[in-house]
Structures are given as C-alpha cells and as structure tokens.
Structure 1
Amino acid sequence: MPCYPSLFAAHLRVDNVGTILEQVETNKKTLILHGTKTSAVLNSVLSDIYHLKRDNAVKYTKKNDNIRPFESGGETSLEFFSLKTDCSLIVYGSHSKKRPNNLVLGRTYDHHIYDLVEIGVENYKSMESFVYDKKLAPKLGSKPFFAFIGEHFESAEELKHLKEVLLDLFKGEVVENLNLAGVDRIYVCTAVSPTTVYMMHCALRLKRSGTSIPRMELVEVGPSMDLVVRRHRLPVESLRKEAMKTVEHAKKLKNVTKDPIHGRLGKVYMPDQEVGKLTLSNDVKGLKRERREAKKNKEHSKKQKVNSE
C-alpha cells in the first residue's frame, strides 16, 4: 500500500538556469495538539507519541476550543498551526462522552488538510508500565520495522487508510542507506476486525542461534493499544492528483552543456573543407554589391551609347 512518499513537504532542486532537476522530500514534522477536554489516558497517549517522535515533533499543551477537524471550517486552526510550525503530520486529541479518548490523525498538503482518520483508544498501556532492560530502549533517530497482520488491511477501506497514515506517522526520516544496527524496534499492527487494530511497539533483541544468522526476539516496550476507527475522510481526487505530481525530467539535448558562469553552451560541428574549393552562396553581401555595381555600369554604358547616336 503506497504511503505517498513525496506528498506533503518537498523542495525543488534546480540548476543554474532554473531548470527543475529533482523534487526532494524534506523530513515530515509532527504537530501534537490538545482539544478542549482531554483525559488522563489521552494525555499519556500524546506524551508517548511525542516521546517516540521527539527528534522531529512539536507539542502544544494549551487547550484549543475551536478545532473541529471533520466539520466545515473547523480545520482552519489546524491549517494555521501547520503553517506556523511547518508540520505536515497532525495528531489531535480530545475527549467527550460521545467520543471518549479520541485521536485524530491528519496529513496536510501545502499546509491544507489532505486527509483525516479518527480513532478511539482502548485497552491502553503506557511505556512506563512495561518493565524491561533499559538498554533495549529505542535510540533517538533509529528506524523501525512495520508488521501489518490480517487480511482486513487489504479489504477494509478504513484500515487501508489507517495503514497509510500510521506508516507516514512513525516511519521516521527517509534514507537511502541503512545500518542494521539502527533498526532496533518494530510496530506490530494486527487487524482484529474491519474497524479495530491492536497495535504494539516492541524492541528487537538478537540472540545466539549457533549459526551466522542470530535469532531474533521481540520485547514489548510500549505503548500498546487498540485503535478503533470511527471516521475517516479521504482526499479529494483533484487534490490527490495535484499532490502526487512528480517533476518531469527534461529531454537531454545533444552537444549542449551547462556552465556555472556562462550558462547554457552549445557545440556546432562543421565538415572539414579544403582551401580553394570553398563555395560561396548567392546570399553573400559582397556578391550582391558587385551585381548592383555591374548593373549600374551596364545601364550607364547604354545611356552613353544612346547619347552618342
């Protein structure tokens, strides 16, 4: 399932004459916000998410009254905070009797709301509730594995969407080369039903196996929780097409180079010519002048002949 790798925060790399060479994705920052009312469980959830994303996240603890992500005009404040903090991922927590322990995960394109997923948090266990060797704690900047278990991630539209958002939220920085020593944790997401996912965060422990390939064990380090999808909003098709546009690379021109000082330079090749065999075209200015003078002399001689007669 694609996770829209270059969807939200990107800059263009151009050459010295302004030609776009490549669209480069920048790191996606996460904005964490509190609603008008939150519960102790929800405060702990937001704190754990911030702890997992602390190298690339911004957290506001002040309560926000006028944020209604799924209502018309209610996303204005989210877009304002996204622009202010330059964040393309949003985690918004609120608590009410109708929707207890409610989390809204959102993504933006050009600092406008792109899509939203609303989930309820159940059976939550915080990171502090787990006892383990602190040497196994995830290191800052490490890359996680992801395991999505269950056919509902392919058949249920809600879980397809949730999978994309979770990948974008927790995958970390986009890299080309990876040191396996930096892959020390895994998120295991199990689809219990078409709307419910059990999510757990584990550290990877390497054990001796008697061979060159070590045996791998999972040690749960938290948090763990059940995520129940309540509402979700897919992007508008026109916005999705605009966000998924890629830079079309220009056709390479033959014998054309680019110089940092002179700009664009071109080479022209002419066949070898021998002295004495050069031919001049009829468009040479010198030949035209000679013809005009010859014609003038001819007319002058005709006038003299008529006058003599």
Structure 2
Amino acid sequence: MPPNSEPSNAAAETVRRVPTLVVAYDDPQARVGERPLAVEMPVNLVYGSVPYAVMMTTPADLEDFAYGFSLTEGIVASSDEIRGVSVEDGEGGLRLLVDLVPGRLREHLARKRAISGRTGCGVCGIDDLAALPKAEPRTGREQTVTVGAVQRALTALGEAQVLNHETRAVHAAAWADRDGTLVAVREDVGRHNGLDKLIGALIRTNTDPAEGFVVITSRCSFEMVEKTASFGASVLVAISAPTSLAIERARLHDITLCAIARSDTLTLFTGRERLVLAEPSVSGQGVDPVSAL
C-alpha cells in the first residue's frame, strides 16, 4: 500500500471504552469514570490454508501487517511474492489469509518452522486461534486488598528492580503479601517472561495465591491476566494500561484488575469487591460501581 494512502481496515474497532473507578490513596472517595482502551485481538496468519502463527494485534492496517510480518519472518523476500491478503472472522479472533505465489508457497510449506520465543506480542508456540491459552476459571476466593497495601508495594518496587536500575531495559513482576510487603521480584526483557519467572518462584515455595497479589511494571495484555489466573491469584496490579481483551479475561476469571497504578492514584477496571478503600463511600450519585465493574 502506498505510504500516503488511507490505512487498510480503518473501520475496525481499535478503541473500546470501559467503566472505571479512579482511586486516590489519600482520598476515601473514588471517582466513577470511563477509560478508552486499545483493542487487543488474536490474529491468525494463514499461508496456503495452513495456520502459521497467532499474533496479538490492534485490528487495523491488517494488510500492512501481513506484508510486514511475512517479510520479517523470512516467508517472502519482496512484496511481489504476495498475490493478495484477505481477512475473515475466526473463532475468537481474525484470520489473515495470505496468498503467496506458487513457488514461494511451496518453499514455505516445505520449510519446517523453528519457533523461537519472542519478546514481542506473539503467542509462542500457537499457530491456530483455537489453541489460545485459557486458564481454568476459579471461584469462591474471598481475598481483599487495601489501596494502602497497593501503594506500599508500588513504592517498594521501584528500589527492588535491580537489573532495571542498571540497564533501564527490563520489566518486573512482583508478589506482595496482603500488607503490601514485597516477597519476590523477578525481572526480564520480556514482560511475559518476568511473570513466568515470578510464578515459578512462587510455586516452588508453595506460596498461597490467596495471601497476596501480583504487581507488573508493563502494560497488561490478556496473557498477563491468563498467567495470573493460572497461578490462582485474584488481584493483579499493573503500572501501565490494560487492553480490551485483558478486561474480558479478568472478568472471565473473576480477577480484580487495577491498572495505571501510579504514586498517587490507581484505576480499577474489574473486581471492585476485593479492593478496600479507606472508607466505603463512592462519589457519583445514582451509579453503582460494584455492578458497573
């Protein structure tokens, strides 16, 4: 597509607005609001009817994505080797059907792909939408966390990121107890890897998921929610914003998701019943934030 032309798939939904509560640590009243979130959707790239990879993307400019991905993955050497790209609905996502010229398609299908772990936004080892990870739903967890505990954990996490202090290039995942005291911190260039390392440390020490909460320094995509649910924790705090699919999965797994968690405020997206404010009152006449979230 020419650089100055209109982007493809421009009509696709790329932003979704969700209800929120904005909580200031020093104010017992929370503000009911609304937050625009980037839409996150699984997109299955398919060559010659054979699924190749599932990537988590914003569903816009998908034709451009197919061309760029095909080149950087080494599937094609130039745009001339792609005859066309079409988009179709799939189970829980979209399929990008990439039509390669016959010679390039034969080479691609003959090549055995060695899947390497990425630090980006693919789902490693998954080549079809139906195989997307989904933790078993858990119910009956009565855990609560105070906003004060969240604030203490966030304050302590800054000093606990030893590798990031030296490199400024890694993410952190931490486990805090109910008082907000950090119990374990793990760092990695990949945000998913950092959380996997943390969960590994916790299960090796038989940590009870009901006795604390997870804090991550990265944005909160759906995989971060799924990993938290797989461990069994019911509260996840993210310093950056969540995606639309992260909100959907947090609701599915009954997880309290706090994000955009900074030194003065946090924004609550799901699971209001587990977050204990200084006082139970909530501003906003006629709005029930519990039912809204």
TM-score (norm 1): 0.23
Find the structure with the greater CA-based Rg.
Answer: 1
TM-score (norm 2): 0.24
For CA contacts below 8 A with separation 6 or more, give which structure has more relative contact order: 2
